[in-house]
Chains A and B, each alone.
Chain A
Amino acid sequence: MEKVMSNKLVIALYVLPSLLLIMGIIYMPIVLTGYYGLNEWNGIGEMTFIGLENYKHLIQDSTFWSSAFHSFELALFSGISLIGYLLIALVLSGKIKGANLLRKIYLVPMLLSSVAIAQLWMKIYHPTNGVLNSLLMSLGVDNPPAWLAEPSIVLLALFVPIIWQYAGFYILIYYAALKNIPESLMEAARIDGANPWQIATRIKLPLMSEVIKVTIVLSVVGSLKYFDLIYVMTDGGPNGASEVMASYMYHKAFRSFDFGYGSAIGFFLLLVCLVATYLIRKATASKETIQYS
């Protein structure tokens, strides 16, 4: 086996399939998108090269910036919700009754497809016979809001199911990270008289800091390019109040037949995500990795 693996040709041969796949499915389209973004193109006919015209338009496009703002709001929101996930994971990893069952319950939304979740929440939010408004009315609220139709609250109403959707995923990651911390460390701390709070903040959190960094990147980048629930539940409406970057790109490309502009938005979105990742990595970088054992 070692002999085979030392042969460069063989290594290349083994790497080739996945290399081709990743080139064909990920990198080529990115390059092409970049190229389309420099053209005026309706998706069907001839392309006309117009240089950076699309990007110039993009910078002045107030609808785009408001959708970008919505995306950043979502990123902020999901970033903050990570704290909640972390707390839940900490509790679950402790020796409480039914932790196993609860863990599974939190994971359920992740198993549903986005469209099913969207349909479910559309029923919940239905202005007249939705669960939420029926509940509010039975509690004596005369005129509960039409959650998905009012520009001022539609974004918040969408964030809730999005957060709910990914809760299981992050809780699972944190839970696994917590379970990886050697029991001996905690025992030693307990013998030294540390209380649970100290154990959590001084031992558990530092030891899982790498994992936390990864989840921050995942949730921020995931939020910036978020699309599914918003597309199904409000389609960016009413009047663009819940439009995010990805849905705006979709609308431009596939509704208005402006593929050039849509591609420019897509490419810009990629840049935004790259910059965000870089900044987060930089901001959370630490000189040394913490090791207690």
Chain B
Amino acid sequence: METFVLIDPLLPTGAFAHSLGLEPARIARAVGTLDETSVEASRAVETYARECAQSAIDAQLPFALAARAFAVRANEKHAREEDDDETTRAWRAANAECGALCASNAVNRRASASTGAALLRASIVAFGEERSWYLRAIKRTLRRPPPLGLGEAHHACVFGAVSAIANLDAEACARAYVYCIMRDVCSAATRLNASGPLETAAALRRCVDDAEAACAVAVADFNAATARTATSTVVDDGCTIIHHLRRAPATSALIYDVVQGAHDRARARLFNS
């Protein structure tokens, strides 16, 4: 049931302050029209949720899976938080790559950093002192001066670390992450009156089937690209994963990503991103 704790809106991560680009897309009329019917509206929201979730699978999910892998390795080594060991360093490198990928969309970067910090804070309290030692080690690195200090912990990397602490395997981590993306888009759609609550719930359910399959493919690709060999060390594994993070993550919802970058130019808005 710890999976439910992770995806429950009760966990205060501030996710519902973000529309994941749906609001700017509607303001710019890239999604929805003024004279649309309710059926067309729910279909437009579903299309957007699918694009957004697939782009998250392509761009952000590899970072979540990598962060989860680093946390699992840290547990295997029984590392203690006093050690600035290779696994924490690798998490920082992954987080830096994630931040660089978000840098071309300042709105998304801001959202990722704020929800990441909130998830980190909430998870440390929710999972307790003993189990959250890895998260507390990450949090301490945020306060250090550069180049060790980060300032920003991005949501995908924090989510992966938390999923390891909640004992989620890679497939469950991927499904939980993508479900949260689709949930947040659909929730924003309802509050924006872009689609009615019942139609939105139906749209979310329709997305879930394809999301399961897409997550399975993404996890298989990640595992194949970062497979450990019998002789590889922890450092080799970390390098392999970082190399994969430099080659693979990429956004696939170009139009919505560009429009989201203009969210701050809207005259009025409900959401932070």
**Do A and B share a complex?**
no
Q: Which residues of A contact B (CB under 8 A)?
A: none
Q: Which residues of B contact A (CB under 8 A)?
A: none
